[in-house]
Amino acid sequence: MDTRAFKRSLHHSERYNRRGFGLGEEVAGSLQTAYQSDLIASLRESGHTLREGRLTVKLAEAFGFCWGVERAVAMAYETRRHYPNERIWITNEIIHNPSVNDHLRDMDVLFIPVEGGVKDFSEVASGDVVILPAFGATVQEMQLLNERGCHMVDTTCPWVSKVWNTVEKHKKHAFTSIIHGKVKHEETLATSSFAGTYLVVLDLVEAQMVCDYILSSAAGASPAAARRQEFMERFSKASSPGFDPDRDLIHVGVANQTTMLKSETEQIGRLFERTMMERFGPAKLNEHFLAFNTICDATQERQDAMFSLVDEPLDLMVVIGGYNSSNTTHLQEIAISRGIRSFHIDTPERIGPGNRIVHKPLGADLAVVEPFLPEGPIRVGITSGASTPDRVVDDVIRRLIELSKD
Ligand code: SF4
C-alpha cells in the first residue's frame, strides 16, 4: 500500500479530524477536576520538596503528563462533547493510565475488544466515531475504519508522526528501518505498519547481534547457514514479511519508539553508524546509513530529571505509571541501575492498608512488601510516567504522609 498517499487522502477527508474541535474551554473544567492537583502545582513552584514529620518527599524536576498526552486526553473529551449522541470507540487505551481510561469508560467511550491478542472491529459501524490514541494506530486499522465509513479523531502525538515520517523516508530511499522498540507495543506496531522493510531491536544486545551479522558478511562472504538461521529465528517475529538479512542490511536507517531509554537509543544509533562505516568505508557511509533524531523531548526530560533525582540521598523511590507504560518502566530501570529500592505502582491504591505496598518489580509479577516504609526519618523520591495525571501523584503523596504517621 502507498501509505503516504493514503495518509494524504485521509487528511482531506471530512470524516477525519486531527486538530480537535475548538472546545478547549468547554472541557478545561472537567480535565482540571479529573487530573490536576493543587498540592502538586504548589510543589512544582516550591522546589519540588515536601517535608511532613519524619517524611521528606522529593519530586523529580520533570514528571507526569507530557504535552502529547494532555493533547490526546483533551481531544478525547472534546470528541464526547462534539458527538454527544454518537457511538464512540477507541482503538486502544488512549494512554497507558488506568484512571484516565476509566474516566473515558465513564463517558461511554467503548474500547475495541481484543480476543487472543487480535482486535475485533466487527461491532464498529458506519457513522460511528473512532478515536485513535496518542501512540497512534496501524495504517491497516485506519484503512479499515475509513472503508467502513467511520469518523476518525486522530490524537496521535506529533512526535510519533515524526517517527512515521522518518520510516517513510527510509522506505522512499529503499533503506531498511531499524526500529528500537518493543515489538508488541502499539506505537511500534503502528510505526512498522508505515515502514517498508523493517527490523525491530529491543535493546543494545539485539542491536549488537544485527551489527555482528552485518560485519560477518563483509568482503562478500556469505555467513554460514546456521548463523543465518539463528538470526531468522531470533527476529522472525520482529521483521517485515520476507525479510532477508543478507539483502536487507545493506542500507539501514534507525528510528525508535519515542519512549525508549534515550541513552540506549543513542548508543544503538552510534553502533549502526560505526558498523556501516566499518563494513562499507567512511566515504560510503551516507549511502548505507541514514542518521535519525526521533527521541521525544518529554521522554528525554523525564529521564534526565530521573538521573538527577537518583543522585540525591534517597531511602527509596516510588515510580508511578501504568505497568504497560514503556516510559515509566525506563524510569524504574534508572532507579534500579543506581541500586535504589524502587517501587513501580500503577495506582495509589497499591499503597496500604497498613504499612504495605503491592508493586511490580522489573520484569516480574506483582509482589507485596510489608513493612514498606522503614522506621525513622525517611526520604522518598517520586516520579511518574508521561501518562500519569498529577492527581494520582497527589494521592500517592497523601498516602505516604498518612503511613509515615503510624
Ligand atoms: S511521551 Fe513523547 S511521544 Fe509520547 S505522547 Fe508524550 S510527547 Fe508524545
d(CA 182, CA 319): 20
Give the model's pLDDT for residue 127.
96
Q: Are 155 and 134 in contact (CB under 8 A)?
A: yes
CA–centroid distance, 286 to ligand 1, in Å, is: 29
Q: Are 48 and 42 in contact (CB under 8 A)?
A: no
Q: What is the value of pTM for the model shown?
A: 0.90
DSSP 249: T
Residuewise pLDDT in 10s, the chain (406 residues): 899 999 999 999 999 999 999 999 999 999 999 999 999 999 999 999 999 999 999 999 999 999 999 999 999 999 999 999 999 999 998 888 888 999 999 999 999 999 988 999 999 999 999 999 999 999 999 999 999 999 999 999 999 999 999 999 999 999 999 999 999 999 999 999 999 999 999 999 999 999 999 998 765 555 578 888 999 999 999 999 999 999 999 999 999 999 898 889 999 999 999 999 999 999 999 999 997 767 788 988 999 999 999 999 999 999 999 998 889 999 999 999 999 999 999 999 999 999 999 999 999 999 999 999 999 999 999 999 999 999 999 999 999 999 999 7
Burial call 195-216: b when 16+ CB within 10 Å, e when fewer: bbbbbbbbebebbeebbebbeb
Q: How many CA atoms lie within 13 A of 166 on its CB side?
A: 28
List, in order of start, the domains of the chain with CATH numbers: 31-65+298-405 (3.40.1010.20), 68-157 (3.40.50.11270), 160-295 (3.40.1010.20)
Give the model's pLDDT for residue 221.
53
Dihedral sign for Cα atoms in the order 295, 298, 299, 301: positive
d(CA 9, CA 15): 11
Q: Are 129 and 87 in contact (CB under 8 A)?
A: yes
Give the model's pLDDT for residue 117.
84
CA–centroid distance, 159 to ligand 1, in Å, is: 6
CA–centroid distance, 21 to ligand 1, in Å, is: 21
172 Cβ partners below 8 Å, 6+ apart? none
CA–centroid distance, 82 to ligand 1, in Å, is: 25
Burial call 328-345: b when 16+ CB within 10 Å, e when fewer: bbbbbbbbbeeeeebbbb
Pocket, ligand 1, Cβ cutoff 6 A: 66-69, 134, 157, 159-160, 258-259, 296, 298-299, 327, 386
Whole-angstrom CA distances from 182 to 259, 292, 403 are 10, 18, 37
Of 255, 281, 279, nearest to 268 (Cα)?
255
Atom of ligand 1 nearest to the CA of 158: 8
Atom of ligand 1 nearest to the CA of 95: 5
CA–centroid distance, 365 to ligand 1, in Å, is: 26
* Residue found under cell 532477508: 244
Q: Using CA positions, which residue lies closest to atom 5 of ligand 1?
A: 68
CA–centroid distance, 406 to ligand 1, in Å, is: 39
Query: Is 168 one of the catalytic residues?
Result: no
d(CA 320, CA 302): 12
Q: How many CA atoms lie within 13 A of 231 on its CB side?
A: 24
Q: Best substitution site from 132, 163, 258 to test ligand 1's pocket, by max atoms within 8 Å of Cβ?
A: 258
Q: Using CA positions, which residue lies closest to atom 2 of ligand 1?
A: 296
DSSP 3-state of 146 = helix
d(CA 253, CA 269): 9
Length of the chain: 406
Q: Are 133 and 72 in contact (CB under 8 A)?
A: yes
* Residue found under cell 520538596: 49
CA–centroid distance, 242 to ligand 1, in Å, is: 31
Give the model's pLDDT for residue 223.
58
Q: Best substitution site from 259, 302, 388 to test ligand 1's pocket, by max atoms within 8 Å of Cβ?
A: 259
Which H or E element spans position 336?
helix 326-337
Helix extents (H) in 2-138: 3-11, 24-35, 38-45, 67-82, 98-106
Q: Best substitution site from 163, 296, 387 to test ligand 1's pocket, by max atoms within 8 Å of Cβ?
A: 296
Q: Which of 187, 206, 273, 333 is catalytic?
A: 187
Give the model's pLDDT for residue 297.
86
Q: Which three cell numbers stand for residue 386?
A: 508521561
Read off φ and ψ for residue 136, nearest 5 degrees.
90, 180
Give the model's pLDDT for residue 324.
87
Q: Using CA positions, which residue lies closest to atom 6 of ligand 1?
A: 68
Give the model's pLDDT for residue 79.
98
